[in-house]
Chain A
Amino acid sequence: MSGPNASPWETLSVSVQGVNKQRNQDWSAAEGRGTTEEPLILAAADGHGSAAHARSHVGARIAVDVFTACATQFTQLARPRGTDDPPSLSWLMHYAQHTLPRRLSATWREEVLRHWSRQPEEGEPALSDEEKVLLYGTTLLGAVLTPQLFAAWQLGDGELTVIGEDGTAVLPLAPVEAELGDETESLCTRAAWRLVRVHWAPIVDPARTPRLIALSTDGLSKSFASDEGFTQFMTGLDQRLDDEGTEAVSSVLPEWLARAAQHSGDDTTLAAGRRPNHRSGTDR
């Protein structure tokens, strides 16, 4: 019997453009192997895409890059160094819940303003910083997994889906009441860090490590006629990964997401990490 972390995590990341959209305003990243040295880092961002947010495709890309950098820094903080003990879980939790969202929000804002200064809009009237930042509006979903902890962050719409060891799907960052229509919270909102929802789940029993972690933009969930349909998609995805492997599923995922985008009308993105050996033990 092998332990749950014997095989490294596998990642997949696919994004398709929405029907009639001029460009894909989503961006995503999936990297790492879920080990101490190479933590699993997932991110997905959904630029708002309307005329009021004309640079949201850039905003989404910057959001993913900034999250990846912040998450890498966070996992380095969590690692033991030499003979020193790693920081306590309570310290890390405070960092995850307060420091990281502030850093994320502030760095994203700095980066989009830097992008504006590099590529200003010729002939436009002078814009305030708030007006510039608004142009880059985007949501953000991010997750980190190491052998010791799993944490995730969300600002705005989209879904974090976690398939547990028993195959049950949960959406730990789902809001109590979903936004109606297409309005969403955003990184371009003032004090956006206050709006970040955080999922904190230290891994106290390695056997109960999740077996699939998926981030998806709302183009996917809104394509289904019901919330249950989306959850069934995620459990079905998990099953197909089990049965057919990550490579085979990665090859058909663009087709699935394109079908979803036809119904939601939105760019549709999925970034996921999968633990391939979760059947270790009695059920294999």
Chain B
Amino acid sequence: MPETWINIFLFVMLAATALAVVRTRHLFAVVMLSGVFSLLSALLFVTLDAVDVAFTEAAVGAGISTVLMLGTLALTSRREGPVSASRQLWALPIVVLTAAALVYGTLDMPGFGSPDAPAQRHIAPHYLGETASEIGIPNVVTAVLASYRGYDTLGETAVIFTAGVGVLLIISELGRRRRRDDEDEEGSVRNPEGAGDRIGGNSRSDGDIR
């Protein structure tokens, strides 16, 4: 029973944080509040006994994302621009319709924590029962993640790598530097290592001056 009250309290706090995010125009406050939102979700995951997920949410959602958002804010504006009244008028029905569709979708789902849910009956019993003998480690989550579902995790790692490469290609200065060096080639003392260098060589020279 106390768990129910904790859940209700956390959900109320989540809703309050979400409302505050919507209402605030100051983007620094919005970033901080979204960090709070992540931390509250992490607490919810803890009450669901999903500590691994809670750990990830706290580290990635509340930690790294907040830092990266602040980094983005430092490059752009810190105030949200005003939204025209006509667009605000459209927003309400769209949000209500989407929410109604989502709630309708949940009607077919198995009950909260139901032991008959397909997720509990398919292969989960095998993982829970056989991890100790097949893998021999106490943390079933790690066993599923790294061994039973090793292919998926390899894919996830590749996704993270690809995302990092994408970010670097879009916003890092690695490619741009070469072009700029070509432009101010004459009389430039900024980068004596020379223009038209390979990317690896260029970035190596970044490390020590910056």
Task: Decide whether A and B assemble into one complex.
Answer: no
B: residues with CB less than 8 A from A are none
A: residues with CB less than 8 A from B are none
